[in-house]
Amino acid sequence: MEEPEANAEPPPPGLRSLLPPREFLCSRKGQLLLAESVLSFVIFICYIASSASAFMMAPLLEFLLALFLFFAYASKLNEKFKGLYWPLTDFLRCVTAAVIYFAISIAAVSKYSDGASKAAGVFGFIATIVYAVDFYITFNDLVTFLKQGSSESPEMRKSEDEDSDSDSD
């Protein structure tokens, strides 16, 4: 039996390259996005199985958005595409998701009597809490960034004004 050489190349990554990095999965943002994705998918399945199937579109959209942001943050697309203001986009997504989940959960629990609707409502309340925690954390990051940006912006404006050519001369 042959022993592998010490300088042998590692095997190609294959499907492992599609998985997010471990440090992102251990981060708070990664765990929140993963929880949002899982909860949204479970709620979507519950609404499909219930008589409240009219509400299934909101969890489906939130699942797709959370999944997109999960892989966007994991693959660091937010650092590559600077044109989109990622924290604000994420904040607005979380606020609207929390409000929508709260509203449809109340409707599902109070209006429909089947078990799948009740389960979707309970999971919707849990999702509301998860999204609220996410938008609270994102809001704090957003405020910190805006305070940092506002303290630097007058200096940057002065240097831009001094360097720019004016046509009013």
pLDDT, tens digit, 9 for 90 and up, residues 8-17: 666 566 666 6
Q: Would the pLDDT of 145 be above 50? A: yes
In a domain, 16, yes or no: no
Band (pLDDT 50/70/90 cuts) for residue 63 is very high
Q: Is the model more confident about 123 or about 17?
A: 123
Q: Do residues 111 and 52 lie in contact, with contact meaning Cβ atoms separated by under 8 Å?
A: yes
In a domain, 14, yes or no: no
Lowest-confidence region among 95-109, 114-128, 146-160: 146-160
Q: How many domains does the chain have?
A: 1
Rounded to 5°, angle at Cα 116 from 130 and 43: 30
In a domain, 52, yes or no: yes
- pTM as predicted: 0.74
Would you state the pLDDT for residue 89?
87
pLDDT in tens, 34-47: 999 999 999 999 99
Q: How far apart are CA 41 and CA 26, in angstroms?
A: 21
In a domain, 1, yes or no: no
In a domain, 134, yes or no: yes
Would you state the pLDDT for residue 6?
58
In a domain, 68, yes or no: yes
In 3D space, the residue among 67, 68, 69 whose CA is nearest the CA of residue 38 turns out to be 67
Long-range contacts of 57-65 (CB under 8 A, 24+ apart): 58/100, 58/101, 58/104, 59/101, 59/120, 59/124, 62/36, 62/97, 62/100, 62/101, 62/127, 63/37, 65/93, 65/97
Q: Would the pLDDT of 155 be above 70? A: no
User: Residue 122, Cβ neighbours under 10 Å: how many?
Assistant: 15
Tell me the residue range of the domain where 83 lies: 22-151
Q: What is the mean pLDDT of the chain?
A: 81
In a domain, 158, yes or no: no
Would you state the pLDDT for residue 154?
43
Would you state the pLDDT for residue 16?
63
In a domain, 122, yes or no: yes
